[in-house]
Amino acid sequence: MQNTTESAEDRLIARYFRPLAKHPGALGLGDDAAVLTPPEGCDLVLTTDGVIAGVHFFADDAPDMVARKALRMNLSDLAAKGAKPLGFLLSVALPAATDEAWIAAFAAGIGEDAERYGLPLLGGDTDRTPGPTSVSIAAFGAVPRGKMVRRSTAKPGDSIIVTGTIGDAALGVLLRRDAKLAARWRLTEAFAAYLQQRYLLPQPRNALAEAVQQHASAAMDISDGFAGDLAKLCRASKVAAEIDVGRVPLSDAARAVVAADAAAMETALTGGDDYEIVLTLAPDKLAPFRDAAKRAGVAVTEVGRIAAGEGARFLRDGKALAFARASFSHF
């Protein structure tokens, strides 16, 4: 006989989210809050990010991909701070028309990545909304006390490093909006699929977090575009940066796009959704960091240098590029 004192929301949580709350501090999602004790000698690192249908993802994107993207955005922030993941809180607002199959797939996706990255669900909230689907996550990590890598501590003479490749997701969003671009850019099916997958599913660089914590002088996650996020780091650190655009790492797919449409390079540099890390290193830290990145299986590329002054300049053949919009912004 069904327990009539249990609400539909309670049943939804019990069916889809309680099985993911394996950390003892989650208390089986049966209380008003969770308990999290940081490792001895560590600081807590807190971050939050979220996604809204029609803004950060397309309404018909697969629900498991929506879930994984939302979680990985937060994991990327933790990685850039050099933090080890500890747990997360999840808040979901769903339109009334959302069916249980969507919720089941969403929960399966977020559960898979919670296991993959060692970031257990600790609690959260579920709501109905008259607006679009909204997912908000608050994630928690740990670093040795006083060792969180900030964006305000870059020094003149530091090398500038980026992980992975830049611009894939921004180009993938354009393809998602206009499939005819694939023909205009003369992309193979494999290249077009690769770029769209990079938009759908970020690859946070948590395998490199310890090396970032040990070697970087400053770092931040690239989410709003390489050009704009580097400018933020420079403002926070009160320094300047010079980037050799020819050294910015592009995937083969992105190179194919730029070869067909040179203007797409600006989109790659400014478009956002990379979820890579930009970091600065003292010269004597470069070799050990490269070694650590190789062991972690993460590609890293030196693209420029920090200098005295202010502002980030992107140079091609010695000439500074001017961008119509240097960064994604909600406002």
List pLDDT tens digits, range 261-278. 999 999 999 999 999 999
Per-residue pLDDT, 214: 98
Of 12-21, 125-134, 171-180, 292-301, minimum mean pLDDT range: 12-21
Per-residue pLDDT, 11: 87
Average pLDDT across the chain, whole number: 95
Average pLDDT over residues 280-300: 98
If DSSP states are collapsed to H, E and C, what string results for the chain?
CCCCCCCHHHHHHHHHHHHHCCCHHHHHHCCCCCCCCCCCCEEEEEEEEEEEECCCECCCCCHHHHHHHHHHHHHHHHHHCCCEEEEEEEEEEECCCCCHHHHHHHHHHHHHHHHHHCCCEEEEEEEECCCCCEEEEEEEEEEECCCCCCCCCCCCCCEEEEECCCCHHHHHHHHHHCCCHHHHCCCCHHHHHHHHHHHHCCCCCHHHHHHHHHHCCEEEEECCCHHHHHHHHHHHHCCEEEEEHHHCCCCHHHHHHHHHCCCHHHHHHHCCCCCEEEEEECHHHHHHHHHHHHHHCCCEEEEEEEECCCEEEEEECCEECCCCCCCCCCC
Average pLDDT over residues 188-200: 97
Amino acid at 160: I
Q: Is the pLDDT of residue 324 over 90?
A: no
Contact 202, 69 (CB under 8 A): yes
Binning pLDDT at 50, 70 and 90, where does residue 329 land?
low
Q: Which of these, 247, 267, 248, 252, lies nearest to 195 by C-alpha position?
A: 252
Q: Is the pLDDT of residue 302 over 60?
A: yes
- Using alpha carbons only, how large is the chain's radius of gyration in Å? 21
Q: How many CB atoms lie within 10 A of CB 329?
A: 10
Q: Is the pLDDT of residue 1 over 70?
A: no
Binning pLDDT at 50, 70 and 90, where does residue 327 land?
low
Q: Is the pLDDT of residue 141 over 70?
A: yes
Binning pLDDT at 50, 70 and 90, where does residue 107 land?
very high
Using CA atoms, how far apart are residues 286 and 291, in angstroms rounded to an integer? 9
Using CA atoms, how far apart are residues 251 and 12, in angstroms rounded to an integer? 41
Q: Is the pLDDT of residue 2 over 90?
A: no
Q: Which of these, 79, 302, 301, lies nearest to 210 by C-alpha position?
A: 79
Q: Is the pLDDT of residue 331 over 50?
A: no
Matching residue, tokens 């969180």: 148
Using CA atoms, how far apart are residues 181 and 174, in angstroms rounded to an integer? 8
For residue range 240-263, list pLDDT tens digits in order: 999 999 999 999 999 999 999 999
Amino acid at 289: F
Using CA atoms, how far apart are residues 19 and 249, in angstroms rounded to an integer? 40
Average pLDDT over residues 284-293: 98
Using CA atoms, how far apart are residues 157 and 138, in angstroms rounded to an integer? 35
Binning pLDDT at 50, 70 and 90, where does residue 328 land?
low
